[in-house]
Amino acid sequence: MAATLKIFYYVSKSYRIDGEMRRLPPLTALRAFEAAARHLNYSRAAEELNVTHAAISQQIRQLEDWFAFRLFRKEGRSMILTDAGQRLQKDYLRGFDILEEATKRALGLEQDRPVQITTTLVFASRWLMPRLGRFNTDHPAIRIKLDSTTALVDYDRENIDIGVRYGAGRWPGLKARMLIPGDRVPMCSPLLLEGRKKPEKPADLFALPFIHDVDQSEWEAWFRQRGIEEADLETGTVHTMSMLAYQAALEGHGLFLGVEEMAKDDLESGRLVMPLGADAVWDGGYFLVLPEGREMRPPVRLFHDWLLREVAGEKT
């Protein structure tokens, strides 16, 4: 009588007899059983599922109570599956294979189209590349296509999923979320300042050569924000790529307007310095930029959420 009551209790607790729900044991316990049966070791199953040995043992006991038969037995110092456990492993293994394939289809991981990202070469090389390996390790089936350009692109025409751009966060037809705040700050190699009087105010910078990223507009805007309308910016070199301008600064060719976070390693090592310090004036920064009204594909959502976690982790 006791055994009958016990079986009825677990069956009635697992499903409602209303034609809608399936009669299934707890899925968490099934996952624990699948890992334990594959390893024939609770500790290795616990390590794989990132839980404790006690949690695996409890899940197996719960499953054995649900079925009312043993799944494992001891043989010497080893743990082996019972006959019923072997049958269950074989049957449920097929079920887990089907679930895995269904999950891949739902996530779109079997599709050829990669997650397409547009960003600047500086952000890609100085911030994204050192971290992207972690995403690839966690999501090996998701392909990333990275377009490094300073040009504003048409998201629909170029099939762009996500952009990371520097600016004030205002781009028509796009929604922007601040990722990394940071104004452009004058920086240079300490070699450039050797034998020169240390600059103390913005006007003192005119004694040094300038490095221009594409054109003079960024330096002109920087000086205007500090009350200097007529800026003599004829000295120095113009580079059409931000990374070349950055490299020129490292080599001591002149002053470069850079974002402190992107130059963090070189500033900490002393390869670059900020002659005027972190002289912030406006609310610029790197923004996560998405097309308005477009629903993210599952792989895009995974990359989007990973990117936000990476940034949040560095702020804590």
List the CATH number of the domain containing 36. 1.10.10.10
Domain end (from 88, 107, 126) = 107
Q: Return the amino acid letter for 212.
A: H
Contacts of 239 (CB under 8 A, 6+ apart): 211, 212, 213, 214, 245, 248
Residue 8 counted as domain residue: no
pLDDT the model gives residue 121:
86
* Domain co-membership, 242 together with 191: yes
Instruction: Please say if the pLDDT value at position 49 is more than 50.
Output: yes
* Domain co-membership, 132 together with 161: yes
Question: Could you report the per-residue pLDDT of 52-73, keeping only the tens digit for each?
Answer: 999 999 999 999 999 999 999 9
Pairing of strands 144-148, 115-119: parallel
| Alpha-carbon span 117 to 160, nearest angstrom | 6
* pTM for this entry: 0.57
Domain end (from 79, 107, 135) = 107
What is the DSSP-derived secondary structure letter of residue 298? H
pLDDT the model gives residue 162:
94
Residue 47, Cβ density class (10 Å: 0-12 exposed, 13-18 middle, ≥19 buried): middle
pLDDT > 70: what percent of the chain? 88
pLDDT the model gives residue 8:
33
Residue 22 counted as domain residue: no
Question: Could you report the per-residue pLDDT of 213-255, keeping only the tens digit for each?
Answer: 877 888 888 888 888 888 778 777 888 788 888 899 999 999 9
Domain that holds residue 271: 182-282
Question: Could you report the per-residue pLDDT of 111-149, keeping only the tens digit for each?
Answer: 557 999 999 888 998 899 999 999 999 999 899 999 887
Instruction: Please say if the pLDDT value at position 283 is more than 90.
Output: no
* Domain co-membership, 302 together with 161: yes
* Domain co-membership, 189 together with 259: yes
Task: Name the more confident of 11 and 25.
Answer: 25
List the CATH number of the domain containing 259. 3.40.190.10
Q: What's the CA angle centered on 291, arms 289 and 293, to 5 degrees?
A: 135
What angle separates helix 42-49 from helix 53-67, to the nearest 10 degrees? 110
Report how many domains make up the chain.
Answer: 3
Q: How many CB atoms lie within 10 A of CB 106?
A: 9
